[in-house]
Structure 1
Amino acid sequence: MLDKNKALVQRFFAAIESADFGVFDDIVALDYDDHLPGQGRGRETLKQYFRDLHSAFADLKLPISALVAEGDKVAVLNAVRGTHHGDFAGLAATGRTIDAPAFQLYRIEDGRLAEHWEVADFSTLMRQLQG
């Protein structure tokens, strides 16, 4: 089961990178609960969040450097990389690249991502965008 949960998270990350948000219908719970500040509940809200992120960073990559599963949880240490080509956090496109670390924790229920927590280095990301 642990390997299946890790594979689910890897599939999720691959869908984000390829902007294939239709995959979310198969792997994300309808009432997905995202504890990221400012983020709303639900699968459709999550899709819109990543559509907006791809509008800002069309070449978005989320390389995983560590993936650990225990019980119904999967922890991910990853980076957030991309080139700023659209509005993000009130900033117009700068053409600058970002490379910031992030830590994610997912809870899996009935074979779908049900809940998410994140700690991202937003200050590094914003410094990179502001030059």
Structure 2
Amino acid sequence: MATEENKDVVRRFVSECVNVHREDLLDRFAAPDVTLHPGTPDSAEATQGIDELRQAFRRFRILFPDLHVTHDLLVGEGPYVVARWTATGTHANEVAGLEPTGQQLRWGGTDIYRIEDGRIAEWWRNDDFAGLLRRLSRRVL
């Protein structure tokens, strides 16, 4: 696929699946054996499979039911697309022992996707979730 087509896969994944909470559409955007790479060195090992991705979506949607992601920048080269993004969401459920605050939060990150045959084959995530948890812990203390 051309670079612009790969970038469009990522754009559509966020707009048609993530931002409208359509977990049922994950199969359109991710390969059945998609590999998910955690973004921090102390995170768990990479996981594989659309079911793992589906579970991750569910967990995050429970925490932030109104999650919305905006792409600030998309850069592509060959099969790779790099997305710098900003997310917003209301902290609605417990995370890392922190009770829900009801606060509208904003955080960012950078993802790298490898697109194969029009779907996400690999996804590397690096976001400021640790910073988000620090901000939440200050609000509840």
TM-score, normalisation: structure 2: 0.86
Alignment deviations for residues 60-93 of structure 1 (CA, whole Å, 9 cap, x no partner): 0111100011000000000121110012233221
Equivalent in the alignment of 1:11? 12
Equivalent in the alignment of 2:72? 65
**Secondary structure of 1:78's partner?**
strand
Runs of 4+ with >6 A deviation: none
Equivalent in the alignment of 1:112? 119
* RMSD of aligned residue pairs (Cα, Å): 1.4
Alpha carbons 1:55, 1:85 under 8 Å: kept? yes
- 2:95, 2:18 → 1: CA distance? 17
Alpha carbons 1:17, 1:62 under 8 Å: kept? yes
Match for residue 127 of structure 1 among 126, 130, 134: 134
- 2:99, 2:66 → 1: CA distance? 16
Q: Which moved more, 1:28-37 or 1:93-102?
A: 93-102
Once the two structures are TM-superposed, the CA of residue 118 in structure 1 deviates from its matched residue by 1.6
Equivalent in the alignment of 2:97? 90
Alignment of 1:34-53 (within 5 A): 34-36=36-38, 37-38=43-44, 40-53=47-60
Q: How many residues align?
A: 131
> Which amino acid is the alignment partner of residue 17 of structure 1?
N
Alpha carbons 1:96, 1:128 under 8 Å: kept? no
Q: Which moved more, 1:81-90 or 1:23-32?
A: 81-90
> Which amino acid is the alignment partner of residue 56 of structure 2?
Y
Equivalent in the alignment of 2:29? 27
Identity %: 34
Q: Aligned pair 1:56/2:63, yes or no?
A: yes
> Which amino acid is the alignment partner of residue 81 of structure 1?
T
Looking at CA atoms only, which structure, 1 or 2, has the larger radius of gyration? Answer: 2
Instruction: List alignment gaps of at least 5 residues for structure 1.
Output: none
**Secondary structure of 1:31's partner?**
strand
Once the two structures are TM-superposed, the CA of residue 115 in structure 1 deviates from its matched residue by 0.3
